[in-house]
Amino acid sequence: MARRRQLYEGKAKILFEGPEPGTLVQYFKDDATAFNAQKKGTITGKGVLNNRISEFLMMKLAEIGIPTHFVRRLNMREQLIKEVEIIPIEVVVRNIAAGSISTRLGIAEGTRLPRSIMEFYYKNDTLGDPMVAEEHITAFGWAMPQDMDDIIHMTLRINDFLTGLFLGVGITLVDFKVEFGRLWENEDMRIVLADEISPDNCRLWDTKTNEKMDKDRFRRDLGKVEEAYQEVAKRLGILPEAGNADMKGPEMMQ
Ligand code: TMP
C-alpha cells in the first residue's frame, strides 16, 4: 500500500503529508519517553487512547471558541490536522504543585498553588527544554508580543475550561502543557492550539484518592499505566471499546 510521505517523527507522534495542501496526518505512537528521552518505553494502546482523548478535548475547546489545528479523526491512531508553524514554546500551567516546580522550589507535591502559574519552556531537546521568560521569547523572536497575548489569554481559558471538565468526571487537573502554532490563511495569520492534549502532557489525579492517572505512572514506575489512560478515556465517555461511544458525553461523578 502506498504510504504517505513522512515529514517528521517525534517521541510520541509522527506527522505525514496530508491529503490536501495545508493539512497533515498526525499519527499517535505507543512509544513513551521521559526526562528528555533518557527513559524510553511502550505503553500498549496509548496511541489509540491519546488520539481519542486529544480529539475529544480539542473539539470541546473549539466549542468554547479556542481555535485548534484539529480537523477530524481518521482512524484509531490518526487524525487530520491543519498544517501550522509550531511556535517553539511549551506553555505549562500549574494549579497544584507537582513535578519540576516541587523539586525546583521545594513545594510539597499536592500543595494547591495560591493561583494558577504559567511557565514557558523553550522547545530545544539539545538544551533540555530550558525554562524561559516572556522576555526571552519576544527578544529572540520566537513569538511576537501580540502572539504572546493571544497564547496567554487562550491558555488561561483552556485551564479554566479543562479544570471544570475534568472535575465533572472526578479528575483534578494538576498541571498541563500545551503548544501553539501559526496558521496561515492567505495573508492572515492566527495562533491556534496545536500538538495534543492527553495524559502524556497533563497531570490528572483522581479527585477522591489523588491517585495518579497520567504519564507520571510511567515516569515514576508506578505500574498500571495503560489502565490509567483507559480510565481517563472511560470517565470522559470515549473509550473506543465502549461500543457506540463515539458521541457519548462525559460520565458525571459526584
Ligand atoms: P514538569 O513538572 O515536569 O515541569 O511538567 C509539567 C507538565 O508539563 C506536566 O503535566 C507534564 C508536562 N510536560 C510535557 O508535556 N512535556 C515535557 O517535556 C515536560 C517536561 C512536561
pLDDT digits (tens, 9 = 90+) for 144-195: 999 999 999 999 999 999 999 999 999 999 999 999 999 999 899 999 999 9
Reported confidence tier of residue 254, pLDDT bands at 50, 70, 90: low
Reported confidence tier of residue 240, pLDDT bands at 50, 70, 90: low
Reported confidence tier of residue 13, pLDDT bands at 50, 70, 90: very high
| Domain coordinates in residue numbering, the chain | 4-84+224-248, 87-206
Question: Mean of the per-residue pLDDT values for the chain?
Answer: 94
Q: What is the CATH number of domain 4-84+224-248?
A: 3.30.200.20
Q: Which amino acid makes up residue 25? A: V
The finding on whether 88 has its CB within 6 A of some atom of ligand 1 is no
pLDDT value of position 239: 85
Question: 87-206 falls under which CATH superfamily?
Answer: ATP-grasp fold, B domain (3.30.470.20)
Bridge partners, residue 119, by sequence: 92
- Are the beta carbons of 68 and 80 closer than 8 angstroms? no
Q: Is 224 helix (H, G, I), strand (E, B) or coil?
A: coil
From ligand 1's centre to the CA of 146, what distance in Å? 25
Q: Is the pLDDT of residue 245 over 50?
A: no
In terms of phi and psi (left: phi > 0; alpha: psi -120 to 50; beta: otherwise), the region of 55 is alpha
pLDDT digits (tens, 9 = 90+) for 36-49: 999 999 999 999 99
The finding on whether 42 has its CB within 6 A of some atom of ligand 1 is no
By alpha-carbon position, which residue is closest to atom 13 of ligand 1? Answer: 201
**What's the DSSP call for residue 212?**
B
pLDDT digits (tens, 9 = 90+) for 58-78: 999 999 999 999 999 999 999
From ligand 1's centre to the CA of 128, what distance in Å? 12
By alpha-carbon position, which residue is closest to atom 20 of ligand 1? Answer: 35
Reported confidence tier of residue 51, pLDDT bands at 50, 70, 90: very high
